[in-house]
């Protein structure tokens, strides 16, 4: 098995590099909370079962829309740390094409050092959020594929 991970999109690489530069776990959490604060307000009317991320202990919601061939994500959580994970992924994945989103592997979380600091339930939540975002991107990818055929 190769230890070389796939190249990340620039937006996500920048986030990963910044986390990688932070050696103290407490500072990583502070940076994660920074992403929670940067998330735009999530409309209450969007907090419905269809947008809920399954398998998360916290209430987590993610929506996606397509603008000029790029996926734009929005999200929220009732837990600040989980909201930070949502914010990290929203910033890192928004603006990518559906194909770019679905090709990503979640192993980039290891390069941030967060995987060591997160509780098992939060780490699991991260993967569930990531997977939900990929599934939403896949819908757009498949729709575009069907339109071309």
> pLDDT: is 113 or 44 the higher one?
44
Label residue 39 by pLDDT band (50, 70, 90).
Answer: very high
pTM over 0.85: yes
Q: Which of 56, 60, 109, 114 is catalytic?
A: 56
pLDDT in tens, 114-137: 888 888 888 899 999 999 999 999
Q: Are 22 and 28 in contact (CB under 8 A)?
A: yes
- What the chain holds in terms of domains, given with CATH numbers, is 10-148 (3.90.1010.10)
pLDDT in tens, 51-83: 999 998 899 999 999 999 999 999 999 999 999
Q: Are 95 and 103 in contact (CB under 8 A)?
A: no
Check whether 2 has a pLDDT greater than 70.
no
Compute the distance between CA of residue 40 and CA of residue 87 in angstroms, rounded to an integer: 9
pLDDT in tens, 79-110: 999 999 999 999 999 999 999 999 999 999 98
Q: How far is CA 104 from the centre of its chain?
A: 11
56 is catalytic: yes
CB contact burial 10-29 (16+ within 10 A = b; e otherwise) = eebeebbeebeebeeeeebb
Compute the distance between CA of residue 114 and CA of residue 85 in angstroms, rounded to an integer: 10
End-to-end CA distance of the chain: 36
């Amino acid at each position: 098995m190769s230890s070389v991970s796939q190249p990340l999109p620039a937006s996500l690489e920048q986030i990963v590099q910044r986390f990688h530069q932070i050696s103290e776990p407490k500072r990583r959490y502070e940076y994660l909370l920074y992403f929670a604060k940067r998330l735009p307000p999530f409309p209450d009317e969007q907090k419905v079962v269809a947008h809920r991320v399954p398998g998360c202990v916290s209430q987590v919601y993610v929506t996606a829309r397509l603008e000029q061939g790029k996926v734009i994500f929005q999200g929220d959580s009732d837990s600040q740390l989980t909201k930070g994970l949502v914010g990290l992924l929203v910033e890192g994945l928004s603006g990518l094409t559906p194909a770019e989103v679905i090709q990503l592997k979640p192993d980039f979380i290891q390069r941030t050092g967060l995987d060591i600091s997160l509780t098992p339930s939060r780490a699991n939540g991260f993967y569930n959020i990531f997977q939900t975002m990929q599934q939403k991107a896949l819908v757009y990818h498949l729709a575009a594929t069907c339109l071309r055929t």
